[in-house]
Every structure is written in C-alpha cells, then in structure tokens.
Amino acid sequence: MNTCEIRKRYLNYFTNLRGHKKISPASLVLENDSTTLFTSSGMQPLVPYLLGSPHPDGKRLTNSQPCIRTQDINEVGDNRHLTFFEMLGNWSLGDYFKSQQLPFIFEFLVNQEYGLGLDPRRLYVSVFEGNEEVEKDYASIGIWKEIFNSYDIPAEESLTLDIGSANRNARIFAYPASKNWWSRSGPPEQMPIGEIGGPDSEIFYDFGAEFKLHENSKFKDKPCHINCDCGRFIEIGNSVFIQYKKNEVGGLSELPQKNVDFGGGLERLSMVVNNQQDVFMLDLMQRFVRPIEAKYNVTYLSSPKVDTSIRIVADHLRASAMIISSGVTPSNKEAGYVLRRLIRRAVFHASLLHGGHVERGILPDIANLELDDYPIQLKPWNEIKEVLENEVGKFEKTLATGLVKLRKRIYNKQIIDGKFAFDLYQSDGFPFELTEEIAKSESGVIAKDALLVFQKEFKKHREISRTSVAGMFKGGLADQEERTIRLHTVAHLLQSSLRHVLGKHVSQKGQHITGERLRFDFSHQSKLTEDQLKEVEDMINEAINQDLVVTKQEMPKHEAIKQGALGFFLERYPEIVSVYTIGGDANTSANLSAFNSDGWFSKEICNGPHVARTSEIGHVRIKKQEKIGDGVIRLYVTL
C-alpha cells in the first residue's frame, strides 16, 4: 500500500465513519516564535481548544500535520529516523474519551476493507502506571482487554516489561511518566505552569520474534521490551488523554474538559503496513534515494558507510525541500540556520559519495515530488533547487579548505575545542554540528565544553559585529539581540500612538528592524508636522515610563480580531495566533490618555518576541521621516 493511500484511508476513516472534520494543518515553520522553530506535533496549534475555547469546526477534528523534529537531525542515518515527517492526528475536544478512542484507532489499524489491515496479533500497547497524583490507567487497561478479546486474542497486563520472560498473553505494559505521559515539555515535573498534558497509551507493532539483531548491535545481549530501540518493535501511534493542566502550586488540575490527542507517524505506519523495517525503502523516500544512487553511481544497501550517507542526503534534501517551500532561505538564525545545517550536512555527505568533490550541481534532481501529495504546498523543484544551489555555491569553496584544517588537527591528535570549531565556522562556514560529526566519525577528540565555548565565542562575535559594518552575523543571529526585541515592542507602541494621534486609518505597511533602528512604514497621506511627530514620540515614551506589562495569549484568529487586535498580513497567519497586549492590568493604566476603554494600550497579532515590560525599552527617538509612495510614510526610530 503506498503511503498516500494510508494518509487517505486515515482521513476518510475519521471523517466519513467517525464524524470528524478535516482541518488544515499549521504552517511547518513558526516564524518569529522564539520558543519553537518548527511545528513538531499536530496538537500544537490546537492548544486553545484543548483548553476549552470552542473550535469553529466542532469537537472532532483530524488532519495530517507536517512536522520537523530538529532534535533528531543527528540520529538520521539509521533505518528509521527522519527530520521531516507527517503526523496523522485525530482530536476529541471534550467529546469522546478513552472508551471510544482506543477502539476507533484499533479498528483503523486492523480493518482490511477501509483500514490498514494490520494483523492484530502483532500489536502491543502501553499505558501509564500511575504516580502519587494520577492513578494507574485502569480504564485503558480494561478497554484494551476487551478490544483484544473481541479479536479472539487473550490479553493481560504484563507483570514484567521484559518480553522474553513475559506471559504469552501479555499485551498491555504499564510504564512510568517518562514513557507514558505526554505534554509539549515532557513528564509532569517538567511541565511549566499552565501547560496541558496527560497520560497516554501507545501502540506498538512487532516485526516478529524471529527478528534478528545484527551481531554488532548494542542491544544484542539486552532484554527486549516493547519500548526498546533494538528495532523489533516500533511505536506507531499515541493516544494522549489531555485532561490536566499544571497549576500555580506545581500540582495538576483537571481541565474543564477531557480531550483526546492522537498522533501517528505516517511514515512509520507505512513501514509496518509494508512490513518494511527501513523507512528509506518506502515509496516516498525512494523518490530521493534513487536519484542519489544514479547521481553518484552507488547502490543503496551495499555498505554501511554508503547507506548512512545516502540516508542523510535523502532525508535532508526532503526536509530542506519542505522548509524552502515554507518560504525559508538559509541564514544564520533560527529556521534559516537549521536549513543551512541540513543543506551543508547533505552537501558534505554528497561529497563523500562523490569521491570527495564538491561543486555546484552536486545535489541530485528530485522528480515528481508532488505525486506524494504532501499537505504542504510544494514549490516547483527548480525553485527549490535554486535555493539549494545557492547554498552549495557558498559552501563549495570553503568545505574543502575547512576539511583540510579539520583533518590536519585530527591527524595531529590535537583536541577539537570550541574556539577551533568557531574559527572553522567563521572562516569556512562549518556549522558546529558538522565539525562535531566529522570529528567523531574520524576518531578526533572533541573537548567536553566545545559547544559551550563555541556559543561563547559566537556571542562575543555578536558584540563586535553590532558595531562593525559588515559581519557575517549582521541581520543574522544578531536579530535575536535584546535591542532588536526592544525595537520590536517599540513598533507596537508606535503603531498605537500613530493611530491615536493621526487616526484609525493608520495601518502598518512594512517594518524592518536592525540592532540600530526600527524602520516603520504606514498608510498616511502626508508627512507628519513637527507637532505630530513630537506628540507620537512623547506618547511612546510615556507608555515606556508607565512600565506597562506585555502579555502574550494564544487564541483563534477571529477571536483576536473581535478583541480589536491589529494584524498585518492577516492571511499569512495560521488559525491560531499569538496576540501581544501592552498594558491592561489595573495598576498601570491610570493616567495615560491613550488607553482604550478596555484598558490596554496596544494589541497586535504577532509572533514576537517582545520585552516583558515596557520599561526595558529605555528612551526612544523618532529620527527621520520620508514619504515613500502614494499614501505611505516611513519613520526611523532609534533607542
């Protein structure tokens, strides 16, 4: 069964047979969000609804969410890890709970006609064993027993996790919170106040007791359990019962509604449906593997070294294609930096397959990507390729010289420390992780504190480049600097002030921030008078003096608009937006004339980041104004 068919069957099952509405997935790249760069699970955009806000599409939702897990980048190279994957999801927002979710998903997995037709005897499940606060998930244990029994499979909770010594009817395994609790930040003790989560129940597929481990496998002599990474079992789905919220005193409070958040990796489901333990053998990964084989005249599964490089090139090209299609280009910051890392690591491994050469055109062409029907609007390959080639061009000259430096150091048994890694980054464009990887694979010695020192050097360099005219970090990681964040909040204060002084026709047309200044374009017919300029500047500084609190809230876009939040390029934002409000708490709104009747000074849809209180900004000055077009005025503001 090809992977598109699996995606289609899942969405059809939950829409046609189980009354769910298909919702569009969130954007893969979360721009300007300082906490997460990429969407990494389907529930992320649904948090406000899991908390209780009504969703416009009802209480039963489903979709396939494109995800990137950056923490897995260095794992890629084995037979199952990917950086980009799709997560099939279904949600109950306070509607059905355990007794329906578990039978639904089991039926989908095993039904031959409209499901995936998996053999139910190959499925095993895990549940939460309980802790001081939340009891063991007896409810799920009971439901699982009934489900297995209905397929004539005896099912008991296992007394041991070791599959080798477990009773032959053992199907259900209880694990602690480290395995069977889900929240965006992990087990209960790691959840920040306000974070939601709950116990979960995972489903595992057994590739078979006959599954043999390679004699070099580090798992060879270890006992195997369903959650083990040896390769015999693979987790194919997770039903999270989002029922709790971390409260102010560090405990868990019940949410007003009991939710279900199911997520199943599409590629993993395809692996088990096709009884294929190697994710790179799947149709949608072969679309990358085959051109790689042809380009470098190598054969997949011919030697471990070649396989690792083929897998890395394949995965990283695929992830890069998705990130580029989401509008990102390689840079030294955030999502752009991850993209740069992916491309450069792909180029390095391509060079290994290519006899050590790097040149433009080294990367293979991937045809007919769109046939895999990704839930992402893909750019045509020639556009993706242009971005890739541009980056190859930047790296081709320095990769070779950098490799010589690095190998010389390894050969001389000199330690690879953070300072050296940083120099290699600065002069030859080696992302730290690539230096680390090459050093490791060629038996070089890396200093324990290498990353730490690298980061320190990085910071130090940023301090310098703030004043230098051309530094490679300009407009790069420097954007993260506090000054930039302060100016970002100034942009909100400025827009509000302009609307108070000039009128409600003022709306933002563009903005650009560097460490030095904010450039802000807005709609207005003529240049401002001296008085108007002074009034606007005074109003911003007054708002700063008032030490207003800046708060962030997530809510549906329509709710944000209802509350009067301003938004620039509204159509570019996902259904759930972040809204930043400046002012509005009782203490600070007293004597500023410009506060609106709800008590706040500014409310905007925005991804941040922003200062926590306006007093962090300091004094601002409007430096200059220009009329840049018909009805558009530009202001320059500095700190």
CA quadruple 136, 139, 141, 147: dihedral, nearest 10 = -170
Q: Which residues pair with 625 in a beta bridge?
A: 635
Binding mask 13-52 for ligand SER (x = CB under 6 A): ----------------------------xxx---------
**Within 13 Å of residue 315, how many CA atoms lie on the same side as its CB?**
32
**Is 263 near ligand SER (CB under 6 A)?**
yes
> Scanning the structure block, which residue is given the tokens 């083990």?
228
Least Cβ distance, residue 88 to ligand SER (angstroms): 9
Of the pair 241, 296, the CB lying nearest ligand SER is at 241
Buried b (16+ CB within 10 A) or exposed e, 463-500: eebbeeeebebbbbbbbebebbbbbbbbbbbbbbbbbb
Closer residue to ligand SER in complex, CB, 25/42:
42
Task: By CB under 6 A, tell whether 86 contacts ligand SER.
Answer: no
* Residue 43 or 174 having the CB closest to ligand SER: 43
**Angle formed by the axes of helices 450-467 and 432-441, to 10°?**
150
Name which position in 238, 351, 495, 546 contacts ligand SER (CB under 6 A). Answer: 238
**Could you give the string, one character per residue 123-162, with x where binding to ligand SER holds by CB under 6 A and - elsewhere?**
----------------------------------------
> What minimum distance in Å lies between the beta carbon of 4 and ligand SER?
21
Answer for the pair 570, 605: CB distance below 8 angstroms, yes or no. yes
Please report how many Cα atoms fall inside a 13 Å half-sphere around the Cα of residue 283, on the Cβ side: 17
Stretch of residues binding ligand SER (CB under 6 A), selected from 260-268, 302-310, 314-322, 569-577: 260-268
Rounded to 5 degrees, φ, ψ at 458 are -55, -50
Could you tell me which residues are beta bridge partners of residue 603?
581
CB 305 within 8 A of CB 272: no
Measured from the CB of residue 182, what is the shortest distance to ligand SER in angstroms? 5
Least distance between ligand SER and beta carbon 67 (Å) = 8
- To the nearest whole angstrom, how small is the minimum distance from the Cβ of residue 372 to ligand SER? 22
Residue from 240, 266, 324, 555 touching ligand SER (CB under 6 A): that is 240
| Nearest by Cα to 614 from 579, 586, 588 | 588
Q: How far is CA 66 from the centre of its chain?
A: 9
For residues 568 and 577, what is the distance between their CA atoms, to the nearest angstrom? 12
Give the nearest distance from C-beta 127 to ligand SER in angstroms. Answer: 15
Cβ atoms within 10 Å of 54's Cβ, excluding its own:
13
Site membership for ligand SER, residue 444 (CB under 6 A): no
How many residues make contact with ligand SER (CB under 6 A)? 10
Q: Is 261 in the site for ligand SER (CB under 6 A)?
A: yes
269 binds ligand SER (CB under 6 A): no
Give the per-residue contact string, 168-197, with ligand SER (x = CB under 6 A; - = no). --------------x---------------
The backbone region for 269, taken as left when phi is positive above 0, alpha when psi lies in -120 to 50, beta otherwise, is alpha
| Minimum separation from the CB atom of position 222 to ligand SER (A) | 25
Instruction: Please give the distance of CA 63 from its chain centroid, rounded to a whole number.
Output: 17
Positions touching ligand SER (CB under 6 A) are 41-43, 89, 182, 238, 240, 261-263
